[in-house]
Amino acid sequence: MIPEEALRFTNPQRSLVFQALNEAEERIAGYYCIPPFRWENLRYDLLTREDHGWEPLPDLMLARVRCLQRVNPIKPFHFYRIELDDNSILTAAEREDLLNDKYLYPFFVYILTHEMVHMVRISSILERGLDTVAPADESEEERVQRISRRILEGSSSYLPVLERFCNESRFFILPGA
C-alpha cells in the first residue's frame, strides 16, 4: 500500500500532470478541430490537493470537472475547473501497477483527456443556450469513455492504461466523473 504521507503528488508527479495537461489539450483540440482562437475562449484551470481552492472528491473518484460561471459586466462566461484527487489516482495507479513514469504519464493524459472531453461537451451544451447541464449519467459516461479511447488509442504507449480503464469488459463508472 502507498504510505499515508505519499497520497499527494510529489513535485515530479505534479510536473508530469502539467505536461500531461498540455498533451491532453493538444489531443482534444485536434480531435474536435478546435482552432486556437476558440480554445482560448474555453477558460479552465487544473487543481490538485496542493492547490488553494481544491475541494475533496467523493471516494474512488479520480477527477471531476466543474463549470463555474464568472460574471463579467460586458459578457458573462463559463469557467471550468478540473480537479484531480491525488489520493485516488495514486491508489488506482498502484493497484493497476502504473506507478512508474512509463505508465504514470499516460495515465495522467488519459484522466485529463477524459475530463477535457466532459468540459468540451458541457461547453457545447451551454453554448446552445441551455442554462444547466445535468450530472453525467451512465450513458454520458460511456460516451466520454469511448471518445477518450478513440483520442488515445492510436499510440501504443496508452494501450496499458486503456486496457485497464477503457476495456468494455471491465468498464466501470467513476461516480460523478
pLDDT in tens, the chain (177 residues): 544 443 899 999 999 999 999 999 999 999 999 998 888 888 899 999 999 888 888 888 999 999 887 667 777 778 899 999 999 999 999 999 998 878 999 999 999 999 999 999 988 877 665 555 555 667 888 999 999 999 999 899 999 999 998 865 443 434 444
Q: What is the DSSP letter of 28?
A: H
DSSP 108-135: HHHHHHHHHHHHHHHHHHHHTT-S--PP
Domain spans of the chain, in order of start:
4-170
Q: pTM of the full predicted structure?
A: 0.84
* Residue corresponding to grid cell 490537493: 49
Give the per-residue pLDDT at 124: 80
Burial of 83 (0-12, 13-18, 19+ CB in 10 A): buried
Task: Please give the Cα distance from 20 to 107 (Å, whole number).
Answer: 9
H/E element, 82: strand 77-84
